[in-house]
């Protein structure tokens, strides 16, 4: 059985707490590894190591730091096949989808390669007599990232690539459910030339997270996961004076206007609703057709497509999606479907009893589709995070705009329409952080920022793009006056620009 320890000081070290967690292979249901769960003391050792290495890394010129990221890109691309295989085995998503997970992380590493430009400060000559002002961005020191199971390559890279490029040392606490890829990425960063101690992976559970939150030498924490934990991390990090950005759960709606191309809308719903078994924070979990005709047409086209979804093991090259991540999560999703039936929603496709031949112990379920879901139902209010799509019929555009705007989550939303006026109005008014127009999963590309609103995001600065540079640096502003600009005598009145 493979034992996964921690990655501290440039190498893998065995766990010393005596506590471990099982890592499953969801496609077969087997335990394929045991991952160490760090104690407070082990986390502290990683922080001390990182703090010792960080000043020299921050003093390394930004172009050299960028070159490490460039070599890392080459190595990730070289290892794409084996990384995707490992990712699919621990997570359950299909290999092509696993490659997408890695690629979306790679794109943020590419963005971070621009760090010499991105970290430039500002300069004003002659702001007053003999006075010049400039600002500079400096690394924070040691920072940490706590990441979820569902993107074990992408989200760690979203966190550590900009942070490290800015000159910080990084402590990554990945999900204990699929820690293999984050550990391998850390090894590749060392192979790319990153000094030991700058990227550390501390595996663990709540104990490690709390140790991060309470550690006085960690200056910032980036979290991605469920909303209750995001809120907890945000407030506990703030209590110890840390900068925090914490991203949570979602309930992403896709509005289908009567003039939309229904075939395109159905294609989009199938991919965005059921891809990765619905275990994406940007999955579409609510479809909102506007008007009875649009709703009936949509359902007629959607039902056979959901019934025809191809579920398979992660290694099946033609499967639409694979198993869910754990047996407990599978049970939770099944329970939600049962709840929806009890709440009175119309379960028009029931995939709960799907069995994968030859993989009977894997964590599979088929696609489920609910019609006539109403906003007061729990299956509408809560995040299910499985291959379950709810259809809420809206009578008009105003109602369709209100639904995602009033939902407690506000991660992503989409509108499908040919009407530019409606699309423009929707994008301007909807109370959600990321909007797609005829794009079902509007994950902004690396040089824009990613972040949800309301209970999908706690904190002000988003992930990747310019916000990532702001989050992982602090700004220092220098006001300088040369002797030629100094007037005689002391000034007792606050200086102004009058
Ligand atoms: P999770 O909240 O269970 O775990 C996230 C991280 O928190 C993990 O590293 C885990 O070890 C840690 N953790 C778990 N319980 C904890 C506790 N009680 N105290 C402290 N730390 C704890 O989330 P998950 O199941 O791994 O991931 C799925 C969730 O993540 C979904 O809600 C999904 O919407 C969300 N997500 C959000 C985004 C986004 O950008 N908004 C992106 C991906 C996933």
Residue-wise pLDDT for 241-290, tens only, equals: 999 999 999 999 999 999 999 999 999 999 999 999 999 999 999 999 99
Cα–ligand 1 centroid distance for 185 (angstroms): 20
Which atom of ligand 1 is the closest one to the Cα of 456? 41
Task: Scan for tokens 């309930």, then name that residue.
Answer: 251
Percentage of the chain modeled with pLDDT above 90: 95
Q: Which residues line ligand 1 (CB under 6 A)?
A: 146-151, 173, 175-176, 205-206, 209, 224-226, 229, 247-250, 281, 383, 385, 411, 452, 456
Cα–ligand 1 centroid distance for 82 (angstroms): 25
Topology of domain 252-437, CATH: Aldehyde Dehydrogenase; Chain A, domain 2 (3.40.309)
pLDDT given for residue 202 in this prediction: 98
Tokens of 309: 């979804």
> By alpha-carbon position, which residue is closest to atom 38 of ligand 1?
281
> By alpha-carbon position, which residue is closest to atom 22 of ligand 1?
206
pLDDT given for residue 484 in this prediction: 81
Those residues with Cβ within 8 angstroms of residue 68's Cβ, 6 or more apart along the chain or in another chain:
164, 189, 192, 193, 194
Cα–ligand 1 centroid distance for 224 (angstroms): 6
Tens of pLDDT, residue by residue over 23-38, are: 999 999 999 999 999 9
User: Which of 37, 178, 229, 328 has most ligand 1 atoms within 8 Å of CB, for mutation?
Assistant: 229
Handedness of CA 224, 227, 228, 232 (dihedral sign): positive
Tens of pLDDT, residue by residue over 281-314, are: 999 999 999 999 999 999 999 999 999 999 999 9
Tens of pLDDT, residue by residue over 191-227, are: 999 999 999 999 999 999 999 999 999 999 999 999 9
Q: Where exactly are the structural domains of the chain?
A: 2-248+456-478, 252-437
> By alpha-carbon position, which residue is closest to atom 28 of ligand 1?
225
CA distance 11 to 32: 22
User: Which of 104, 148, 249 has most ligand 1 atoms within 8 Å of CB, for mutation?
Assistant: 148
Which atom of ligand 1 is the closest one to the Cα of 151? 43
- Let me know: does 435 contact 413? Beta carbons within 8 Å: yes
Q: Would you say domain 2-248+456-478 falls under CATH 2.40.30.10?
A: no
Tokens of 61: 């010129």
Q: Does the global pTM surpass 0.85?
A: yes
User: Which of 19, 226, 249, 412 has most ligand 1 atoms within 8 Å of CB, for mutation?
Assistant: 226
Cα–ligand 1 centroid distance for 226 (angstroms): 4
1, pLDDT greater than 90: no
Cα–ligand 1 centroid distance for 201 (angstroms): 17
Tokens of 90: 């621990």
Provide mean pLDDT across the span 138-150.
Answer: 98
Check if 113 is active-site.
Answer: no
CA distance 336 to 327: 14
């Amino acid at each position: 059985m493979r034992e996964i320890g921690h990655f501290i000081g440039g190498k893998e070290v065995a766990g010393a707490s005596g506590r471990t967690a099982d890592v499953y292979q969801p496609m077969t249901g087997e335990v394929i590894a045991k991952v160490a769960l760090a104690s407070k003391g082990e986390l502290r050792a990683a922080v001390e190591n990182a703090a010792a290495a960080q000043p020299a890394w921050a003093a390394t010129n930004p172009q050299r730091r960028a070159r490490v990221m460039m070599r890392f890109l080459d190595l990730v691309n070289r290892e794409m096949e084996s990384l995707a295989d490992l990712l699919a085995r621990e997570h359950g998503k299909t290999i092509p989808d696993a490659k997408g997970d890695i690629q979306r992380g790679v794109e943020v590493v590419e963005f971070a390669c621009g760090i010499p430009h991105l970290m430039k400060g500002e300069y004003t000559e002659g702001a007053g007599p003999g006075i010049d002002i400039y600002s500079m961005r400096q690394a924070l020191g040691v920072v940490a990232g706590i990441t979820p199971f569902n993107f074990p390559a992408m989200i760690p890279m979203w966190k550590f690539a900009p942070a490290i490029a800015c000159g910080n040392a990084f402590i990554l606490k990945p999900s204990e459910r699929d820690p293999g890829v984050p550990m391998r990425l850390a090894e590749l960063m060392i192979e790319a030339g990153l000094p030991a101690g700058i990227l550390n992976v501390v595996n663990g559970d709540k104990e490690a997270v709390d140790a991060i939150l309470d550690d006085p030498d960690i200056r910032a924490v980036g979290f991605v996961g469920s909303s209750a934990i995001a809120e907890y991390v945000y407030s506990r990090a703030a209590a110890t004076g840390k900068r925090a950005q914490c991203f949570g759960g979602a309930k992403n709606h896709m509005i289908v206007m009567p003039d939309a191309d229904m075939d395109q809308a159905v294609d989009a719903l199938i991919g965005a609703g059921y891809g990765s078994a619905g275990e994406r924070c940007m999955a579409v979990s609510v479809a909102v057709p506007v008007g009875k005709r649009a709703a009936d047409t949509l359902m007629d086209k959607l039902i056979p497509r959901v019934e025809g979804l191809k579920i398979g093991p992660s290694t099946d090259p033609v499967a639409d999606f694979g198993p869910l991540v754990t047996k407990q999560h599978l049970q939770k999703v099944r329970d939600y479907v049962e709840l929806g039936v009890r709440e009175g929603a119309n379960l028009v496709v029931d995939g709960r009893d799907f069995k994968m031949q030859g993989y009977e112990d894997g964590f599979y379920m088929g696609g489920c589709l609910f019609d006539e879901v109403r906003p007061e139902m729990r299956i509408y209010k809560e995040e299910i995070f499985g291959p379950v799509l709810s259809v809420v019929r809206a009578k008009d555009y105003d109602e369709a705009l209100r639904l995602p705007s009033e939902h407690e989550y506000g991660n992503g939303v989409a509108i499908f329409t040919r009407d530019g006026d409606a699309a423009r109005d929707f994008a301007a008014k909807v109370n959600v952080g990321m909007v797609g127009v005829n794009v079902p999963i509007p994950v902004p590309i690396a040089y824009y920022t990613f972040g949800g609103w309301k209970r999908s995001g706690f904190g002000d600065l988003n992930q990747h793009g310019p916000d990532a540079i702001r989050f992982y640096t602090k700004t220092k502003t220098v006001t300088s006056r040369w002797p030629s600009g100094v007037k005689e005598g002391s000034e007792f009145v606050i200086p102004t620009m009058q």
